[in-house]
Structure 1
Amino acid sequence: MAAWIETTLWWHVYPLGFVGAPRAAPEQAEPVPRLRRLEAWLDYAAEMGATGLALGPIFAASTHGYDTIDHLRIDPRLGDDADFDALVAAARARGLRLLLDGVFNHVGRDFPAFAEVLRLGPEAPRAHWFRLSWPRGPGAEPDYACFEGHRQLVALNHDEPEVATYVEGVMTHWLARGADGWRLDAAYAVPPAFWARILPRVRATHPEAYLVGEVIHGDYAGFVAESGLDAVTQYELWKAIWSALNDRNLYELAHALERHNGFLDRFVPLTFVGNHDVTRIASRLANPRHLGAALAVLFTCGGVPAIYAGDEQGFVGIKEERAGGDDAIRPEFPATPAELPAEGWPLYRLHRELAGLRRAHPWLHRARIRIDHLANRQMVACPQADGQGLLLALNLDDAPAALPAPRGRAVEAGDGQVIDPGAAGARVLVPPHAWAVLSFA
């Protein structure tokens, strides 16, 4: 894995929504340089502490970006190659890396190779790129494998060498154009052997590329080992954070953190409390006072953290399982950060504070968590690595709590008062529904 990832904090943007692009791509439309709207937000991301920009789909597609038509062309709703180059240059000027979203499990029905199938039938030159059957007779549309029942998302045949060559070519093309890595969408739906076949060839020309796969359930460590990916998305921890806070059952969180320690023995996961596919964390939490605790866990455990754009301002939005059900979590942003409502800026400053804490303690990237004290509504955890450590104290109760903080010295972030600083019997007094990060002797 590239060394630069050890100090990376991603700011994750869903571009089509962010810039207010039309939901559906107009036919034969001229490119509109909406991608350049992101440039006005790069200082905002960097000042928050982000060191990378993780983009959702930016390639030509029919609707939401995950129904790709052309992986080698910027979506005309966002602009063209010149607009991409300008964004790369602007990000570089601010020290921001760039992560692209690669949709290689499936394509849209208008993808040229599949359009040939619909037009020419079994004789289409790239029919073998798809898993097809022809039960309806001459002239009829074939049955085809699709992504999770979505007929607009046509699954590729990953056993086909030409598909592997095509995907490898797309990945290396954009890495050569300035990208630093790939988030591989729906990586779990692709046989790990496919990734194991192409990723070494990608790394041969781009050894510093960061390659992370979207994996929701299952054997994370096994998938990483079989696929050759650097990491996968840590949905287990995401779920445990908000669920434990909502139920005020920190045993659930402790269990997830113990499993997280095991993953860190094998790879460093991509961690998050929000992304473009889930209900906003501010809407998910039953008690808004627990948002800081969720962030404190994210920023003090091992991993490569990502902040979904808008979460740092307390944006709300509920994902719904229906057509258009992602719209609320993928809104258009104003032209500049100056137009954001005033009430969101304290949360932004908290993100900046925690990003600074993580920057001051770069060993947190690989920190394991030791649980020192645990009850339903209180926890004291010790992230540690390389002989260094911190204390994280959580209090979800309606009353203050004096929690053990052996050798705790001072509060570095959050809200708390250290009693007998530096002593073996030191404690930290944490207010109701609050948290504190402490240094210790």
Structure 2
Amino acid sequence: MSTALIILAAGKGTRMESDLPKVLHKIGGAPLLHHAMLSASALEPDRTIVVTGHGAELVEAAAQDFDPDVIAVRQPEQLGTAHAVRQARSALDGFDGDVIVLYGDTPFITTDTLDQMIAARAAHDVVVLGFEAAVAGRYGRLIMDGKSLKRIVEFKDATDEERAVTLCNSGVICADSATLFDLLDAVDNNNAAREYYLPDIVGIANTRGLKTTAVTCAEAETLGINSRVELATAEALFQQAKRREMIEDGVMMQAPDTVFLSFDTIIGRDAEIEPNVVFAPGVTVESGARIRAFTHLEGAHVSRGAIVGPFARLRPGAELAEHVHIGNFVEIKNATIDEGAKVNHLTYIGDAEIGARSNIGAGTITCNYDGVMKHRTTIGRDTFIGSNTMLVAPVTVGNEAMTATATTVTKDVPDGAMAISRAEQNNKPGFARKLFSMLRAKKAKQAKG
């Protein structure tokens, strides 16, 4: 059976107190919308429709960043969830299959849960996702009769007996396309808010003799984000789950609560992550690598056996081969460091290639930017770069070459050569004492004045 997704992402999110559309606030370095799309994408849907409204252009761009084939439709006025789903009708012209309605601000629903809904749809016309709430509060209640879902009752309309029910409505619904839109056409807005509510289709389906049921999942999966407080809670839940997943897969974390991961972080087994490490998006760390304390990584690849940090920064485009050493207060950006090379102290390597087994001395800088353009530095294999070397790109230092300490390299260095560029040292006897005496006298005079 074919599957399509409708993801509702039109809301403003007033309680977020932000100019940014609610679904673009991030968890684990990715917009809420991307999390919702990620789990659903494993179903390999035939069509994915995102319904936008507030900040439509920004939301549509974010959706297409995740999936270039996504279909965006707009809800000009936010008149309720049923009204939002109706906007997707034309995007599903000619589609014959199941439709799952999801929410862009509900990031944690798993692929397994969606699979269960699709399986249940084989024997029912409408399937609703529910959860057993620890504190049911003002959630809508799912009123069941065995495996049949009789109705969804909003808290304000529920009797005391119905309010005692702890099976609550997540809002996620699955039905075949023709049935879904037929039921939506019957939804009215005879309520205080004058809005069209998606859960109303359950009652309509039952009056027509259709089969309805509910599938349940863990309450944490259904967490919707409506405020900064809920966003922070969701981030904490995401980090906790992601750390646990990593540890169970064989990653060593000395202080897991101090390690922060992104939605796409990949770390191999037997890698060791020390305390206070931040993984921004786009990072892969291979098995057996070691990331030392207070290191920040983004858009970087660290190969087997490499050591990074402490206090290092890997920026986008950093590519470290096996057994590379990157030490304290070193920054690597858009650079390839080949096998066994070492960059151990107080150094910036940007837009560069460092050959195998080369050693980069403390205080080295690849001077890659001329104020307008970026330029590359190439350093060969088995080369020694002396401390405090300035490499003014574009420049190449050959294999088995060397630069003397405090050298500024402005032209290529051939294989096996040593580059040295220093002004001649000139010592002036007694000059330091004389100068300090003059300066102290001037300072004393200023103090009296």
TM over 0.5: no
Q: Which has the larger radius of gyration?
A: 2
Query: If the length of structure 1 is used for normalisation, what is the TM-score?
Result: 0.27
Query: If the length of structure 2 is used for normalisation, what is the TM-score?
Result: 0.26
By percentage of residues, which structure has more helix? 1
With a CA cutoff of 8 Å and minimum separation of 6, indicate the structure with the bigger relative contact order.
Answer: 1
By percentage of residues, which structure has more strand? 2
